[in-house]
Amino acid sequence: MLRILGSSKQLCGGVTRREMLRVGGLGLAGIGLADLLNLRELSASSSQHGSSFGKAKSVILIHLYGAPSQLEWADMKPDAPVEIRGELNGIASTLPGCDVCELLPNHAKVMDRVTVLRSLTHPHPIHGVAYALTGTPAIDVAMELSPRDSRHWPFFGSVVEYVESQGREQASAIPNNIALPFQFSSHREGEVPRAGPYAAFLGAEFDPLWTDFAGTATKGHEKTLRDMVYTDNDPYMGVADDCRFFLPAATRSDKDVTLDRLNRRKSLLTQLNDAIAPLADSRAGHELTRHQQSALAILESDQLAKALDIRREPQQTRELYGATLFGQACLAARRLTEAGTRVATVFWDEYGLAGTGWDTHWNHYPRMKNELCPGFDMGWYGLITDLDQRGLLDETLVVCTSEHGRTPKLNSQKGGGRDHWSRVYTSLIAGAGVKRGHVVGASDQHGSDVADRPISPKDLLATMYHLLGIDPHLLIADRTGRPLPLVDGEIISEALA
């Protein structure tokens, strides 16, 4: 029997809302817990999903916070007026007819393994990470600035972890939803934390497992925000070989924890569970139990620590990704997916001050030349090349996206600047189930509007779910028990192999 996923909401007479909906027929649009035990196997055997369904064993999701300019990435407009095309030229890539920015020579070498989506569009030109990475149908500034706003929908990785957890009795030593290099918005000052990569109504237990990093930043430049000035080095510009990723202290065990001590901790945990048994059916009880299981699974296994330890890689491999925080985080993401993580997310986030990252309202060209493009060029090239050489690209979906694009016309700020623009922008996808060397959609002659095949961020999410073997129209229940689809989008069939 097909059912709606989500927590039960008790109605009068002892009948749950979920049961009422199921009896009413709405449950026929969802998938039940028992069915989810073999979700990919059952669905893959159904012709309605197509041969690309479930092609990806894992997803490496890259989000460039702040948003790069479509005009200086992979949608060059050499014939546009100089106030639009800017001062950077294009260079030929391995994808015929698709020039890329001159600052991305290594990126140009792997374009024949990538599908370029040139016609992303939506009506929200704000830093709507939550709009880009969740099923939420709309967003506003209040939601953007409030990670726990009750209107938010769950992050892509959280949904994958939730679906994968249904019917699984024990937590995995390798979580299915890990994000790097540090918790979103946590390494900058000047504004409140941004929303986006959180589990929303699924519960905090399905938030990503965040890593943190340690290491010596080797390069930097002065950053300003209003009356604030940041002069320390920025690891996104350069890091030394001591760069490493680890779990926050709350989820790491001391080196001297023995099996006997761990077993005693488990015994104490059992006693605690007995004491709080009356809470078991509450949401807080479920969250506590899941956190306990996850923590113990990690404590009892060193698989996750080993996967995060990029120092185990040959120096040549580390250099392939570039000596930046972004590049080394991409390397760690590859190691995590190899170890079994289903979704490894890499954020190029703000650092030091808000208004940084790819949010180039001012000093656009100095930042593109010295900070942003060099790091992206090596990190992206290294990831695609390494996955391909290892034979992993055919089973790993790689997605690089952002919350919007940037204005076609330059502003008058010092160093040039491009402001927010969501009417058309570019994303990249590669790997499992995706065509190699392909372009979908087009912008107009100035890169200001869609000229062909508009693509919603929801379409991109639907495609990601599809390739991972999850029906994007599967229903889950929100806080009130209302059934919602994972995402209201359509699969980008032109991008699929």
pLDDT in tens, 330-365: 999 999 999 999 999 999 999 999 999 999 999 999
Number of neighbouring beta carbons within 10 Å of residue 276: 13
Mean pLDDT of the chain: 86
476-480, Cβ contacts within 8 angstroms, sequence gap of 24 or more: 476/4, 476/5, 476/6, 476/30, 476/154, 476/159, 476/162, 476/202, 477/4, 477/5, 477/6, 477/7, 477/9, 477/17, 477/18, 478/6, 478/201, 479/150, 479/201, 480/9
pLDDT category of residue 76 using cuts at 50, 70 and 90: very high
Alpha-carbon distance of 305 to 401, in angstroms, equals 28
pLDDT at 10: 35
pLDDT at 248: 83
Average pLDDT over residues 432-441: 98
Task: Encode pLDDT of 199-223 as tens digits.
Answer: 999 999 999 999 999 999 999 999 9
Q: Give yes or no for residue 34 having a pLDDT over 80.
A: no
Could you tell me whether strands 438-440 and 114-120 are parallel, antiparallel, or unpaired per DSSP bridges?
parallel
pLDDT category of residue 437 using cuts at 50, 70 and 90: very high
Q: Given its phi and psi angles, is residue 398 left (phi above 0), alpha (psi -120 to 50 degrees) or beta?
A: beta
Question: Could you tell me if 347 and 179 are in contact, meaning their C-beta atoms sit under 8 angstroms apart?
Answer: yes
Alpha-carbon distance of 20 to 483, in angstroms, equals 12
Q: Which domains does the chain have, with CATH numbers?
A: 52-471+490-495 (3.40.720.10)
Task: Encode pLDDT of 475-494 as tens digits.
Answer: 999 999 999 999 999 999 99
Quote the percentage of the chain above a pLDDT of 70.
79
Question: Could you tell me if 211 and 327 are in contact, meaning their C-beta atoms sit under 8 angstroms apart?
Answer: no
Which tokens sit at 244?
């490493």
Number of neighbouring beta carbons within 10 Å of residue 287: 14
Which tokens sit at 285?
């009880």
Average pLDDT over residues 125-144: 97
pLDDT at 286: 54
pLDDT at 283: 55
- Please give the residue that has the higher pLDDT: either 109 or 11: 109
**β-pair partners for 343:** 59, 177
The DSSP annotation for 314-355 comes to -HHHHHHH-SSHHHHHHHHHHHHHHHT-SEEEEEE---EETT
